[in-house]
Structure 1
């Protein structure tokens, strides 16, 4: 979910009290990792030098950018509004009477690059199951929908996206649940499950691991993650160089992000937080934020807003307009006695350097043994077509769940969406997907 990515950008927020990180998150801002600089990726306003206990981020965002999609959808009450899911470059619009009540939520961004590009399309995965064993096993349609193609060896299937493999299937196993259980970093599996089901799967997995550890007194495994030991710039360079070889970094290069942008994001993340990005979406958003700062600041300090100064300027301008309007209503003999408003003074704004944050590693792995599932899906795997409110444009048997990036069209369910290379509505090439909750 994008809000979780936004929350993680504020892990080093310098203000302890007001404006707090919670206020910034609710206002729709992302932290830029440069002092208290923040940015809205929807309308691109950039603010810094917040006044403690005086500036209200929500009110400032609404005042400075009233037409921002986030402001219109989240911060203001309107009868009918249009909500942009991610930002102005890849948005999905939906009319709703309760837009401010979070009727639409979006999951993390998933790029289209897959480990096995030859099996992205559903029919091609389905064709590999021609020799699938006749014994009691999960249905082929369920395996294909879960992202698997048949390797032709025993009951081993492999995910087209993450390259994870599973075998030893039971008749009652749910392929989607098992996929997310054994390969929690597979972005396709996470999108397919949705937030609620994915969370339940991982909670069940952690609970089972804790029970196993509690029953084994010899197990001294510490599940907590350790900070990276970055002692100097030379060590930082080595860490960054290793991460530039990761698949996610290479995919971002393929999406036309400059190497200098990706490298800077890794440097800032490791230097400031001594830890990797939590998800691939965190790194992607870090690159977007840094690129937006470069594009919209453009070396001009006046493009960075100091909230208190800008709000004072707006207030003075409104007062001047009110006085001018009142003066126009006074008869001409009296009007000459009305004093003219004084000009507002120019205030110079100070600035600092560019920067940003975010990501994690997706991993390829093979599992050769697994246990039976203990979780049932929070949403049905198949939906009766007669009850659909917004059917997939491809299969017409499931609800639309994926918005295409960059065009933003909400067109398909998760399996059908990942089978496409171009948007079925506008035919624009798809670079990534985001799961949308309506």
Structure 2
């Protein structure tokens, strides 16, 4: 069901190691050719194009592109009490963690009368995308909205695909979660066209009930399929984006002390998302590898999405990687840069401190990725495809900009004037120096 990659006794360069490791193949470039005309149609034709594209891709032509306020409130009123309690607990935990992420302003006094301040300013408006394909993700509503709210963003819009069985409205739990978070600007728009709507807007156009439609945003965030990723790539520069999210990934670094049932269950939990999802176990224990393989056979057969899970686990993106020891395993997971990295070993906390590339790290047997997906308080919108080597998961930092404020008085400028002139002359830009001389 799941393949093995044996790296024991081999000394590999970083390049060779990356070539050996499994990874989902996602052709964003190819998807871009499909997405480009969609974005152009939205830019040129706004609401009319959004309705046409919904009919084409979602099988329904929404009466309301902007979800009416009464539909949001109705979704809250009909929410299962147990689900509501889970949503509210998640919101509270995620809000506490993200409130602590707010960066602090600072002031540096370089000399009397010479001051540089740094301010963190939230972006004006953001567009948050929530998928609705193989699964629906009210949890992603929380992760995106709370981070933006705690950053101080003034205007938030959420888009999620229209559902045929809901008369063209988004999923009811997604709508209810928006309402619980105080978000009233919600659109029944899916896929690449939602990214286009956020980037270009449909300003000046009205919905069936006269509601003005989406104004352009400054930043687009949220996960999605390859077409959403391609759309983000194409509008980057028109707007900011969080990342080009690919299929979800889990890597588990485990030794012989790990429980094979826990490991197998966690591999399956990520495989459940998508046939392209990657589930990777890295271990020096042949015994654990064999036990996990056996448990996978049992557990996959009884899981709800067994076909999807089996496709994911048997794909080239998933594997059990055998290594000589935990040091070698650490080298592998750092090279892999997983979206989610679990460490189930002796002294897992110390090993976690040595991890340099991961979207999020889950330490010990009782910190499964499922905890982070819902209730840990951390953000589950994380870098995939090795992007953890150079970028972070979603957070308050995704919605703020650092702006430096420079304030010198005459004496402070005079102190460094000659050096500025010398520097400007050295760069062949004498007018720079003249701009300083002019003040004296």
Task: Please indicate the TM-score interval, normalised by the length of the shorter structure.
Answer: under 0.3
TM-score by length of 2: 0.23
Q: Which has the higher strand share?
A: 2
Q: Which has the higher helix share?
A: 2
